[in-house]
Structure 1
Amino acid sequence: MADKIIENNQVSIMGKIDTGFTFSHQVFGEGFYTMEILVRRLSDSEDRIPVMVSERLLDVTQDYTGEYIEIQGQFRSYNRHEEKHNRLVLSVFARELKFVEEDEETVPLNQIFLDGYICKPPVYRRTPLGREIADMLLAVNRPYGKSDYIPCICWGRNARYASAFTVGGHVLLWGRIQSREYMKRIGENQTERRIAYEVSVSKLEYID
């Protein structure tokens, strides 16, 4: 059962470690820490991706900043209560990792596969330049009755296709994890820079 659940949420990324470790939480005496890695795009820009790692996988007392690492895992979410509302927090949960040599010829690695269910009506729109976009929120089941809620964005033909999906619909999708900076208004005259994470979809299938 657990193996089947893990198969429905698969992430492979490779990038440069850009931060130290920050303690997140503890489960049955096992500490979990977050770090951020920079993953190159084909366009040579970068995505900043948060990673959750167990102290059993990596020596969290060491500084690995600048090292290149390949990670296999899952894209997970949890709700963090902020002020008067909940904020969806996303990160890659590392199951396996290894340090790698960076090479100019290395093809950027950023792949995700999700098998889940539509939990909000997709939002279809066009940009001012006429590009078609559809936003989806996918619920991906985890063991023990839990689910991860993953924001996904579709483009062009995929956006038109996704716009017809209904809540509860079963979807398979492939893509990459991307980060996007935005300014959050936190007061009348105050804003804060934040980073949003989502799956940029390259292929999707609707399962009847």
Structure 2
Amino acid sequence: MTDKIIRNNQVNLIGKVLTDFEFSHEVFGEGFYTFEIEVPRLSEAVDVIPVLVSDRLINVDEKVKGKFIDIKGQFRSYNRQENGRNRLLLTVFVREISVLEDEKINRNPNYIYLDGYVCKNPVYRTTPFGREITDLLIAVNRPYNKSDYIPCISWGRNSRFAKEFSVGQNIRVWGRIQSRTYQKKYDEDNIVTRIAYEVSVSKMEVVEEENEEANG
């Protein structure tokens, strides 16, 4: 059962380490450290993605900043209290990590697969240029009766498909993790620049429909 839950949330990233390891927390003597990596897109742009790794998987005293690494893991969410409100924090939790000898990337550097449940009504909108977008929030089961809540964004025909989803529906999505900068305005004199993380969906399917086709 645990293996199935782990397979429901799969991330594979290749990118350049941007920051040094920073201590996050400790669980039963196992230390966890955060850092950021820069993952290239097909365009000239890059995504800067936060990562959480155990000191049992890599020597955190080793200087890997500026090196390229290969990560396999899961996209996880955590709640943190800020100004009396919950804020959803997202990070890649590492299960396997290796430092690459060269910078050549010979496969997709940013891949994610999720099998989860729609937990909010989809939000459909169009941009000023007429591009269709649907925002989703997906709950993905994690071991020990926990769940990760992952924001996803779909475009075009995927957007039209996703806007019909209902809360509780089991769906699968494939895509990439993307980062984007936005400004949070608290009042006229207090504007904070933040980075949001979400899954940009390239493919999606409804699990129930697949099962019905198999049974038919």
Per the shorter chain, which TM-score range?
Answer: over 0.9
1:144 aligned counterpart, secondary structure: coil
Give the CA deviation at 1:207: 1.8
Structure 1 stretch displaced more, 55-64 or 15-24: 55-64
Give the CA deviation at 1:186: 3.5
Identity fraction in percent: 60
1:70 aligned counterpart, secondary structure: strand
Q: Distance in 1 between matches of 2:73 and 2:97?
A: 9
Q: Distance in 1 between matches of 2:140 and 2:106?
A: 31
Q: Distance in 1 between matches of 2:155 and 2:118?
A: 17
Letter of the structure 1 residue corresponding to residue 109 of structure 2: L
Letter of the structure 2 residue corresponding to residue 152 of structure 1: C
Q: Distance in 1 between matches of 2:22 and 2:115?
A: 30
- Structure 1 unaligned regions, length at least 5: none
- Cα deviations by residue, 1:65-122 (Å, 9 ceiling, x for unpaired): 100000000000010111110100000001001111102x644510000000000000
- Structure 2 unaligned regions, length at least 5: 209-216
- The alignment status of 1:14 with 2:11, answered yes or no, reads no
Give the CA deviation at 1:161: 0.2
Letter of the structure 2 residue corresponding to residue 188 of structure 1: E
Q: Distance in 2 between matches of 1:158 and 1:113?
A: 16
Instruction: Find the counterpart in structure 2 of residue 80 from structure 1.
Output: 80
Please provide the CA RMSD for this pair.
Answer: 1.0
Which runs of 4 or more aligned residues in structure 1 lie more than 4 Å from their structure 2 counterparts after TM superposition? none
Instruction: Find the counterpart in structure 1 of residue 110 from structure 2.
Output: 110
Correspondences of 1:143-154 after superposition (within 5 Å): 143-154=143-154
TM-score (structure 2 length as normaliser): 0.93
Give the CA deviation at 1:24: 1.2
Q: Distance in 2 between matches of 1:47 and 1:130?
A: 25
- Cα deviations by residue, 1:169-198 (Å, 9 ceiling, x for unpaired): 000010000000011124431212110000
Q: Distance in 1 between matches of 2:99 and 2:21?
A: 16
1:49 aligned counterpart, secondary structure: strand
TM-score (structure 1 length as normaliser): 0.97
Contact 1:40 1:108 in 2 (8 A): no
